Amino acid sequence: MSYWLAIKPDRKPPPPHHPPAPVPLTPGPRASRLQQVFSEALARTLRANSYANFSACFPTPAKHVPASLESVWRQLNAKLEESARAEFDDIIRERDAVRGLNELDRLVGEARLRRANGEAKGEGPVAPHTLGAEELYQAHLAPYLQEAQSSLNAKIQAAQSQNAELVEKIQQQRKEIESLLSGLEAVVADLEGAAGAATQFSKENSLRQEAIQMDEEVKARDEI
Domain identity same for 113 and 169: no
Give the domain range for residue 76.
Answer: 20-122
Domain identity same for 90 and 177: no
146 lies in some domain: no
163 lies in some domain: yes
Q: Rounded distance, CA 117 to CA 75, Å? A: 56
10 lies in some domain: no
- Write out pLDDT tens, residues 205-221: 666 676 677 777 777 76
* Domain total in the chain: 2
Domain identity same for 164 and 111: no
185 lies in some domain: yes
Domain identity same for 99 and 28: yes
- What is residue 108's predicted lDDT score, i.e. its pLDDT? 84
118 lies in some domain: yes
pTM: 0.42
- Write out pLDDT tens, residues 6-26: 334 444 444 444 445 555 678
Domain identity same for 53 and 104: yes
Q: Which residues pair with 123 in a beta bridge?
A: 120
